[in-house]
């Protein structure tokens, strides 16, 4: 059972915030998930630690909940006050300790969706809220696990997401390592250990996948497809495409078209 009591997102306290809930006060008996988009002091090892923007903390029920923003600074966050008896929350691996999620947009958007759905239909019986909340806690639990493996994991995951979404960028090892403020050699070691593939092979693989989609679903020329996928030289594009697929871009397009035509003809003849 997940019972959302109060929730919100992207709310800015112009004069900053000081949140302090002890026993007997409202909010003490419920859980509180906070996703701060501003610098904030959260409890850490029996003292208050200044945490950077985009930090998450999950306060358990029946515990002192205390955090505050630096003096004179506006403060923005997302939050969910809730009650639950589900093990996915009770067994969360990092209760009451701040950490950084790997995909900030994903977490923010899930909280936003939960808040929207809670406005439409409050109560623990809403299956949509239950599914969204399970996805949120599962993702945060996974983030805690991978962050224990490497202090760079969150940054590596964000880097890889950018590579897979935008392989057409002029990626270089130096550019990637600069984004993590580490050496190129260190980046290549971390990337390979984390994802089982070198960073530049990951770029090439993503470019070829993008090229396959464009060859299938557009009528753009081979050179245009190559350029859209980050290749400045058509011959180089064709060589890499053949290396990864076993076919030239033109052969791949023709083979795919013939296959689609056969499937269409078979459907028209059999209705299956």
What are the per-10-residue average pLDDT scores of the chain (272 residues)?
A: 93 94 90 97 90 94 95 94 94 89 91 94 83 94 68 81 94 93 91 90 96 93 96 96 94 82 53 51
- Residue 26: what pLDDT? 85
Residues 217, 250 within the same domain: yes
Residue ranges of alpha helices (H) inside the chain are 87-90, 104-120, 127-149, 153-165, 173-180, 184-195, 199-217, 222-228, 234-245, 249-270
Q: Is the pTM of this model over 0.75?
A: no
Is 271 inside any structural domain? no
- Rounded to 5 degrees, what are φ and ψ at 27? 95, -10
SS3 state at 8: strand
CATH number at residue 94: 2.60.120.280
- Residue 271: what pLDDT? 52
Structural domain of 81:
2-149
Residues 238, 200 within the same domain: yes
Residues 201, 95 within the same domain: no
12 membership: H or E segment, kind and range: strand 2-13
Is 220 inside any structural domain? yes
Residues 200, 174 within the same domain: yes
Q: Do the beta carbons of residue 167 and residue 229 sit within 8 Å?
A: yes
Residues 80, 169 within the same domain: no
Residues 160, 214 within the same domain: yes
Residues 158, 69 within the same domain: no
Identify the domain boundary among 149, 165, 199.
149
- Residue 267: what pLDDT? 46
Residues 183, 120 within the same domain: no
Residues 7, 99 within the same domain: yes
Identify the domain boundary among 131, 149, 167.
149
Residues 128, 210 within the same domain: no
Please identify which residue in the block is written with the tokens 């029920």: 61
Is 209 inside any structural domain? yes
Which region, left, alpha or beta, applies to residue 46 given φ > 0 means left and ψ of -120 to 50 means alpha?
Answer: left
Is 272 inside any structural domain? no
Number of domains, the chain: 2
Residues 209, 125 within the same domain: no
Provide the 10 A C-beta neighbour count for residue 30. 21
């Amino acid at each position: 059972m997940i019972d959302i009591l109060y929730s919100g997102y992207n709310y800015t306290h112009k004069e900053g915030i000081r949140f302090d809930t002890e026993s007997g006060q409202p909010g003490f008996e419920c859980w509180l998930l906070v996703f701060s988009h501003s610098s904030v002091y959260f409890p850490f090892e029996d003292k208050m630690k200044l945490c950077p923007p985009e930090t998450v903390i999950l306060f358990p029920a029946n515990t002192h909940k205390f955090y505050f923003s630096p003096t004179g600074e506006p403060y923005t966050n997302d939050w969910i006050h809730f009650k639950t008896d589900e093990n996915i929350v009770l067994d969360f691996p990092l209760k009451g300790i701040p950490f950084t999620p790997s995909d900030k947009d994903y977490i923010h958007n899930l909280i936003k969706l939960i808040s929207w759905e809670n406005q439409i239909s409050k109560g623990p019986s809403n299956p949509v809220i239950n599914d969204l909340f399970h996805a949120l806690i599962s993702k945060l639990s996974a983030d805690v696990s991978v962050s224990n493996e490497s202090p760079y994991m969150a940054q590596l995951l964000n880097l890889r997401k950018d590579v897979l979404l935008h392989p057409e960028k002029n990626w270089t090892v130096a550019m990637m390592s600069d984004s993590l403020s580490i050496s190129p050699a260190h980046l290549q070691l971390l990337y390979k250990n984390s994802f089982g593939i070198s960073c530049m092979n990951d770029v090439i693989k993503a470019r070829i996948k993008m090229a396959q989609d464009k060859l299938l679903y557009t009528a753009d020329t081979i050179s245009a497809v190559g350029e859209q996928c980050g290749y400045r030289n058509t011959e180089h594009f064709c060589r890499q495409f053949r290396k990864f697929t076993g076919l030239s871009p033109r052969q791949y397009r023709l083979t795919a078209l013939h296959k689609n035509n056969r499937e269409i003809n078979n459907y028209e003849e059999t209705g299956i």
